[in-house]
Amino acid sequence: MKRCISLLLVCILTIGVLSSCGKLPAFTSMPFNGDISFHAITLTVDEKFIRDSTQSTADLWVFEHGNYSEYIIISKKAIDSDTTTTLQSYLEYLTESGIEAEIKPFLDGEAVFSSGTINDMYCQEVVFVHDGASYAVSLRGGTEDAFNELISTIQKS
């Protein structure tokens, strides 16, 4: 199961990189860290992380630290269902995959919070719906305190 999730993540990153060919102007407004605006949200990425432009696309930003001993993934995906259906479907997918997840209040609505170990790396994620899209903010390899600090900076714009 861990391999399946890892393979899915690699496929998503590879597709994102390949689809970004010829779209370099999207990177000109993508900050390396600090206070960032990502589509319809804002958040603060700690200065120890740096954006990996080889893995980032317009809808997927990757920030790494310590040669990927820790990394942050921020992504956006358009949805065509309501918030409740989107979050419930994602919750079911995660729990069926053996990942601990729950829906909790977040910002002015609800979000799926998940945590688990993937490829010997502790991973945490929040997924919420805003402005017709689902947003995911993930911390791989960090601590719960670092994750909580990161998500406490998220705001809808």
Number of Cβ atoms within 10 Å of the Cβ of 41: 21
Mean pLDDT along residues 116-143: 96
By percentage, how much of the chain surpasses pLDDT 70? 81
| pLDDT band with cut points at 50, 70 and 90 for residue 32 | confident
* Average predicted confidence (pLDDT) for the chain: 86
The position carrying tokens 């949805």 is 79
pTM over cut 0.75: yes
- The two tokens of residue 104 are 């909790």
Nearest CA to 153 out of 57, 55, 72 is that of 72
Residues in the chain: 157
Q: Report the distance separating Cα 23 and Cα 83, nearest Å.
A: 30
pLDDT of residue 118: 86
- Alpha-carbon radius of gyration of the chain: 15
Mean pLDDT along residues 90-112: 96
